[in-house]
Every structure is written in C-alpha cells, then in structure tokens.
Chain A
Amino acid sequence: MKIKDNPINRTWRKMQAIGGVLVLVTVAVLLQVCSAVQYYFSRDGIRNEVRQRAVSEMKVKNLEILQMVTRVETSVANMQWELEQSISHPDSVYPVLRRIMATSPDLVGCAIAFQSEYYPDKGQWYEPYVFRSGDSLVDKQIGSATHNYLEMPWYTDGFASDQGLWTEPYIDSSGSEGIVCTYTFPLRDTSGHKVALFGADVTLDWLSDLFEQKKEVITYLFSHAGRMIVCPDSSMAMRFTLDETTKSFNDSTSMRINRDILEGRQGYAEVQYHGEKYQLFYSPVGGNTGWSMCLVFPDKEIYRGLHHVSRMLMFTMLIGLLFLGFIMWRTLRGMRKLSEVSAEKERIGSELKIARNIQMGMLPKTFPPYPDCDEVTIYGSLVPAKEVGGDLYDFNVHDGRLLFCVGDVSGKGVPASLMMAVTRSLFRTVSYQIDKPDEIMRRMNDAMSEMNENSLFVTFFIGSLDLKTGDFSYSNAGHCPPVLIGSKLSVLEMDANIPLGIMSGWDYTRQETHVDSDTIIFNYTDGLTEAQNSDHGQYGEERMLAELGKVGSSTPLAIISHMSEVIHQFEAGTEQSDDLTMLAIKFNKHQ
C-alpha cells in the first residue's frame, strides 16, 4: 500500500489545505477591516482639519481686506469736509486731491466727477483727476464726451447713494491694466445739495498675493456682481463670472452655492467636477465691498497623504500575507511529510515486530527443553540490538548425542536476520542427516557460499556432546570459542576456519575433547565481549572470564541471568550495540 494514494490521507491533506486557505482569508479580511476602519477615521479627521483650516484662512484673508477697506474709507472720510470746501472753486480741487494722495498710499488715484455743467466754463464733463506716475503725482482732467461718466453706473449709483460705496472692480484702462476698485461718496455744496462724486481708486493687484494659489487649496474672490477678482488662472480674472464657473459642476448644489455667494452667505459644499471631488468653503468679505471669497480643496490633494499611507499599508499587508502563506505552506508541507514519514515508519515498525516474532519463533524457547533427560540442562537467551538480529542458536538430541550450534551473521538488521533464518534452517536440515560437526559445517558452507551475493558471512560453532561419555567433538567457523566452566575455567582450543558463506569447498576441521560431569559449556556471541559502555570501552574477554569464574558451575539459567545483569549494568546509559546471545549447557553424567 502506498501512503500517498490513501484516500483518507488525500482528504486529510485537502482539509489541511482548506484550513490554510481559511486562515489566510480570515487574516486578510481582518487586516482589510482594520485598514478600512483606520481609513474611515483618518479621513474624518482630515476633513475636520481641512474645515478648520478653511475657516481660519478665510478669517485671515477677510481681516486683511477689511484692514485695507477701513484704511481707505477712514482716510478719505477725514478729507470729506475739506473736499466739500474746495469745490467752491474749480482750481482749488487739485491741491486737495494731491493731499489725499499724499496721505493715503493705498490709492493709485482720486478724482471728483462733477455734475453736468457744474462749472459753466468747464463744460458738460469736468472730472479733475490726480494719479501716481512713478514717484510723482500727475493732474489731469479726464471728463470728456468719450469718457462720459455721467452715464456710467458707478457714477449714477454713487451719486444716488447717501453714503460711501465700493464700485464693481474693473480693469484700469488708463494705463496699468490692473484691477482697480473705486470708493465713492457724494459731495454736497454749502447749501447741502449733491453736486459731485468723489472717487478714490484702489488697485486690487495685492489681492492675488493674499489669495495665493496652492495645489491643495484654490482660492477665488468674487465681486458683488459675481465677477472673479481672483482665480487660479489670472487671465480669466474679471472676464468670467461665478455663474460660468459653477454651472460646470454636474451637481444640483451649484444653484445653492451661486445664490449663497451672491447673497453674501457663509457655507460649505462638496462638489464634483470632471469626476473629481472638491470641498468648497465660502464666506462674504466684511465691510461694504459686497465681495465673497471661496476656498476650494481638491479631495485628491487633501487625502494624498492618507492615500499614500493606505497604499503602503495595502502593500505591506500583501507582503505580510504572502509571507504568512509561504510559512503556512512550508509548515503544512513539513507536517504532511512528517505524517507520511511517521506512517511509513509505523508500518515498517509493525512489520519488523512481526519479523521479530517470526525470528524468535525459530529459536528454542521452552526451557528446560528436555525435562525427562537428566544428562543435560540447557538455557539460552538471545537479545537483538535492533528489532531483528543476526544471532542464532539451536540444539537437538538424537541417538544419545546433543547437537548444538551458536552463530552470528555479520551485520545487523533485516539482511542479517534473513541470513540467520537461512542458517538456522540449513542447520536443522543438515544436522538431522549428519552428526559430525565438521561435515555439517562443510555442507552448510557450500550451500551458503553459492547464494551469498552480499558478502554476508556467519561465524558458527557446532558442538556434539555424547550424553553417556562426555566426549565432545566440535567444529568452529570463526566463532568465538566457548568457555568450559567446571572445577576450573578453560577456553576451548580452536582451529582457524573461515566463517560460513565466504568460500565454498573450505575444509573445516573437527576438534575433540572431553567434558567432565557438572561442567557447563558456555557459548556466546561477540555481543557479549564487545558490549560497549558509555565511554565506548569494550567489555572484553578478560572481564567475561573473571565474571564466569566468580559464578562457577551453577546452573545455565543462573549463569546467563547473571551475565545478562552484568552486561546490562556495563552498558548503562548506552544503546545495545550488537545482538547478545548466550547458550549454556550443563552436562550431568549418569553415575
């Protein structure tokens, strides 16, 4: 079964992916909501700030204009008596006008326009005029048929009024081409009849400095008649009116704005113009000029900073989300791999457990194996370092002989365990037919050498004990020599024969000795002598022999239990490095 194609696994992965996407979407929505709230409140704050700024700017501008207006009005009002005295004679007018010019630097010129034929010798039009030319003052009579002031509105309106009036601003045709506005009031003769109109000309050029145009705020100043005195495009000043400007707003509010401004009301409006939104603030200018100012803030400029921050925020969030997504993807992938790996591990683990059970089942494990047989007591133990091992032992009794073996496959783990199974089966098969240890060796070696592709080999010891006499014949294929534990300790003499599985045709030798009664034949694998402690020191043969000497010839079970305990203590804190096998056989000769 392949883990990857498991449908449950696939569903699980799909759920993980959906979960990941959900988390991402949730985070994205949360961030979006946060930034929307932040945007809304910031926008509100900015709008309030703009409103305050508009109010305060309009206040400042209004004050400036008011100052100028008052200055002019008071300075000429102070001269009214002198003016009315001077008109008794046509020639005494100029000195008074010159004095007014000298005391009022705001004025560009001033004049007195007399009623038709007031001075009979001056004719129908008489308008003495004093104006600045560089640093000096120039006198000039400007009334004529071509400059028929008697029919001009400023004259007729001014004359009709009983108090001072500001005329509509106009473009000065006499020279400067600047915008000029005239303050007028009627003059009376000594009998109290209105006989002339005094006019003081004030240039309005300075207003364009006051109404400085900026990107974030556009300013307008409208005359009483709705004419533009100040506007962003100075070439349009005085040429266009409020109506012409506001009619292009595709908005119903334009009518209201128009009316409000013309009627001198204060107000605020939001208008759309060419798809862009603008905040519009307007307020009348104080004094009796009848002017109105209007400040226009484009949304684009007002919220430029906010939009920039929002864009940055969006960008940062996007990067953050991407990063989060990446991390989640990595984590999920890691988890998936981990679960795949652990599932695979679990599978191998459970298979290894089964293999271990099979392997252990191949070893004799009922002790004592021959309860009816007094001549021999046997105990064996095999502890693999991994789940499965390469050690083995086996024995059988027939024809009054005990035939036993101990072996160790080079290497560990699954390959060694397979080789162990093969070896044990071969031993069982061959040892039922043949009882000479060297002959069994030869047969086994030839069979194993032929099929050994992986250069695995088996150190193997076969012993054959005559249960009546204690005659012991054995053959050794490179295995560690058994120890005889009797009245004293001795290590069996060994011929040098190569392990099984290396080279077919090897002529294994047989050796013979005699085993006394009450002697224990202690067989082991190098897992015992090469057991390692935490300092990588080996247990070694010397320590083993000393320990065996201490136990002496007790019972196989006692010896093996004791040695297991000793090795366990020696290995304390480390992992068992090799399979550990012991097989002890005690011979009790029948008396």
Chain B
Amino acid sequence: MTTTIKEQNGELVAFFEGSLDTAASLQTEKDIQPLLTADKNILLNCEKLEYISSSGLRIFLQILKAAKPRGLHVFVTGMNKDILKVFSLTGFNNLLEFRD
C-alpha cells in the first residue's frame, strides 16, 4: 500500500495504490497527515485502490472531518465497483463528493 500526495490544479491530490486494509492503515494514517492541515480542496484518487477495510474508511473520515471546519471540499474519484459497494453500504457515499 502506497500513498502519494501531489498538488494538481490548485488541489491536493492523494493517490492511493494497493489494499488499504487494517494492517496498512497505520502507515497510511501517517502518510495522509499533510491533508489534515491542508488549505486547499482535496481529491482522493482511488483508481489504483483495490480494497478498503473499515480502518481505511476511518482514514477517509479523518480527512473529511479535518476539511469540513475549514470549508474545504473532499472529492473522490476512480473507485472500483467493490469499493463503491462498501461506500454505499456504509453510507459513506453520502459524505463524500464524487467526481468522474
């Protein structure tokens, strides 16, 4: 599991690659720290994300909770079918803004 953060078109884009399971979530939680203090909108690129566990969802929630009070938007893009299913089952699709 690797997480890369880049600045693109005035947004902070986080690229997730691999399987964001419980074991990987500790490292990922460290990797996304810059997003928690961001002053730009955030895009979570999930094109190469294969799987997400509830610990992974918690990380998405952390990003969201940090962004909301600053009036920033958190977008997600490129989710595969399985992950979309997890998001819709857990209602997380109601919290995040999807972008094609």
Instruction: Spell out A's residues near B (CB within 8 Å).
Output: 408, 410-412, 455-457, 459, 477-478, 480-481, 494, 496-499, 502-503, 526, 530, 536, 538, 577-578
Contacts and interface: CB of A to CB of B under 8 A. Distances in A.
B58 A456 contact: yes
A526 B95 contact: no
Interface stretch (B6-14, B38-46, B49-57): B49-57
B15 to A, nearest CB: 21
Task: For chain B, give the interface size range.
Answer: 20 to 34
A497 B95 CA distance: 10
A498 B90 contact: yes
Nearest to A411: B55
9 contacts: A455-B61, A457-B61, A496-B88, A498-B90, A499-B57, A526-B54, A536-B19, A578-B22, A578-B53
Contacts of B89: 478, 480-481, 494, 496
Contact of A459 (B51, B90, B94): B90
Contacts of A477: 91
Contacts of A478: 89-92
A530 B52 CA distance: 10
Nearest to B23: A577
Contacts of A411: 22, 25, 54-55, 58
Contacts of B21: 530, 577
A494 B90 CA distance: 10
B99 interface: no
Contact of B53 (A480, A497, A502, A526): A526
B42 to A, nearest CB: 15
Contacts of A498: 90-92, 94-95
Interface of B: 19, 21-23, 25, 51, 53-55, 57-58, 61-62, 65, 88-95
A480 B90 CA distance: 8
Contacts of B62: 455
A497 B22 contact: no
A367 B88 CA distance: 35
Contacts of B22: 411-412, 577-578
Nearest to A502: B61
A526 B53 CA distance: 9
Q: What 9 A-B pairs have minimum CB-CB distances, sorted nearest first?
A: A478-B90, A498-B91, A410-B54, A410-B58, A496-B91, A455-B62, A497-B91, A496-B88, A455-B61
A503 B23 contact: no
A409 B88 CA distance: 18
Contact of A530 (B53, B58, B91): B53
Contacts of B95: 498, 502-503
B19 to A, nearest CB: 8
B88 A459 contact: no
Contact of B58 (A455, A481, A496, A578): A455
Nearest to B26: A411
A368 B92 CA distance: 37
A496 B53 contact: no
B30 to A, nearest CB: 15
B55 A410 contact: yes
Given A411-B55, A494-B89, 7 more contacts: A410-B54, A455-B62, A478-B91, A498-B91, A498-B95, A499-B57, A530-B53
Contacts of B23: 577
A499 B55 contact: no
A577 B25 CA distance: 13
A499 B53 contact: no
Contacts of A497: 91
A408 B86 CA distance: 14
A503 B92 CA distance: 11
Nearest to B87: A496
A481 B91 CA distance: 13
A459 B92 CA distance: 11
Contacts of B51: 538
